[in-house]
Amino acid sequence: MGNICRSPTAEGVLRTHLERAGLADQVEVDSAGTHAYHVGEPPDPRSQKTAVTRGYNLSSLRARRVATADFLRFDLILAMDRSNLSVLREACPPEEHRRLGLLLDYARDADDEEVPDPYYGGPDGFERVLDLIEDACAGLIDELRQRK
């Protein structure tokens, strides 16, 4: 939504896992929010703190809002929840809707369909978000390997 919790965490996790898989030079990764609440700001300190404990550095990331050009630039645009997916569908040209989806569509072990927003909760919410994102990113990388 604001690009300071879930989506930059996913960007950092996916970048790290792509590097480990030797695919970093083949995949462009970025994150953006559907709203302009925090444009230019770094990820939420709680997201950064949780990420660092698992070896992900989010400190260089800055929030931005999804741009119209993103719908043509990226093959996949993955939302964290249905609400944000709906906003993306409204902004995306209908002929490009095939590019849109939910990140957790790639999760292998999670029963959740959406990554919950941890912003108003405590530390456990940020841990849960990271668990879900790690699972989904691993599944996404498996999918990308199959597409090669």
Give the model confidence (pLDDT) of 73-87 as tens digits: 999 999 999 999 999
Asked if 4 and 23 count as a contact pair (C-beta separation under 8 A), the reply is no
Q: What are the boundaries of each domain within the chain?
A: 6-147
pTM, to two decimals: 0.96
The reported pLDDT for the residue numbered 14 is 98
Task: Report pLDDT for 115.
Answer: 98
Q: What is the predicted pLDDT for the residue at 147?
A: 81
Pure H helices in 1-147 = 6-20, 45-53, 70-73, 82-91, 123-147
Q: How far is 93 from 33, CA to CA, in rounded Å?
A: 18
6-147: CATH architecture: 3-Layer(aba) Sandwich (3.40)
Quote the CA–CA distance of 13 and 21 in Å, as a whole number.
12
- Note the pLDDT tens digit of each residue in 98-108: 999 999 999 99
Q: Where are the alpha helices (DSSP H) in 38-122?
A: 45-53, 70-73, 82-91
> What are the angstrom distances between the C-alpha of 100 and each of 13, 16, 97?
20, 23, 5
